[in-house]
Amino acid sequence: MTLPETDSSEITVQDIERLVRGAAQHSDMTPDALLYVATALLIALRAPGDVLEIGTREGGSADLMLELMEQVGDQRFLVTVDPYGDKIYESADGAVLGLYGDRQYTAMREHLWPWPNHWHFLGTAEDWFQARPHLQRWENAVPRPLNRFCFVLHDGDHRAGSIIREVREALPTVSTGGLILVDNFDNEQNGDPVLEAFSPWHVARRDPGASQLIIRRGHGGH
């Protein structure tokens, strides 16, 4: 994947690298992985819609996306979704207790409070997909449904079954040409079920080490 030319070409590769270095201070993604997120987001901004992040931790990747959108003069609305509360963290390696609690939640709030175009949903991805049709946000005195996204960053529950379910839930809300980036998609020992589930629509991937998959919403459904 090459770095895109943005219409408001105010942003340079050096700007992107500087923002990535800043975000890496409070993200558990590597700078390389964050650079991939940045590139995908800048491409996805060609499509209409808001931005959604599932799995926020201290707000590193969310902050990066907000900074990038400000830098290119295209301040979309960002919804982040994360339950915190020391929810048992499920991964293919087993359940981990006490990883994401009050410390991460308050750090996220500290990093993201200045952005008027950010809103946090304090729940799981499953809670979000249930609540979303009943939610709206106000913009220029008008209520708008939260039903169209240009970019979804999935970095929450990394079990293949959860990823597949949640990406399937998200896909109908992604606008044509919009992208879903799944971080750490290949945590299972038995092959790549996520890759198999979305093989007709995935357009790019990077691995090993930090595996990331990009799925594109094309015309007529997927």
Ligand X SMILES: C[S@@+](CC[C@H](N)C(=O)[O-])C[C@H]1O[C@@H](n2cnc3c(N)ncnc32)[C@H](O)[C@@H]1O
Nearest-approach distance from CB 19 to ligand X, in angstroms:
13
Q: Which is nearer to ligand X, 112 or 174 (CB)?
A: 112
Q: Which is nearer to ligand X, 81 or 150 (CB)?
A: 81
Q: Which is nearer to ligand X, 39 or 104 (CB)?
A: 104
Q: Which is nearer to ligand X, 156 or 178 (CB)?
A: 156
Nearest-approach distance from CB 80 to ligand X, in angstroms:
9
Beta-bridge mates of residue 136? 145
CA distances from 217 to 13, 55, 88, 107 (A): 26, 21, 31, 33
User: Backbone phi, then psi, for 203, in 5-degree steps?
Assistant: -115, -20
Six token digits for residue 42: 């800048």
Nearest-approach distance from CB 181 to ligand X, in angstroms:
10
Nearest-approach distance from CB 219 to ligand X, in angstroms:
29
Six token digits for residue 116: 């008027």
Beta-bridge mates of residue 174? 149
**Three-class DSSP category at 146:** coil
Residue in this structure with the two tokens 């499509």, named with its chain if needed: 47
Tallying the residues shown for the chain, one arrives at: 222
Interface residues with ligand X (CB under 6 A) are: 27-29, 54-58, 60-61, 81-84, 87, 89, 100, 104, 124-125, 155-157
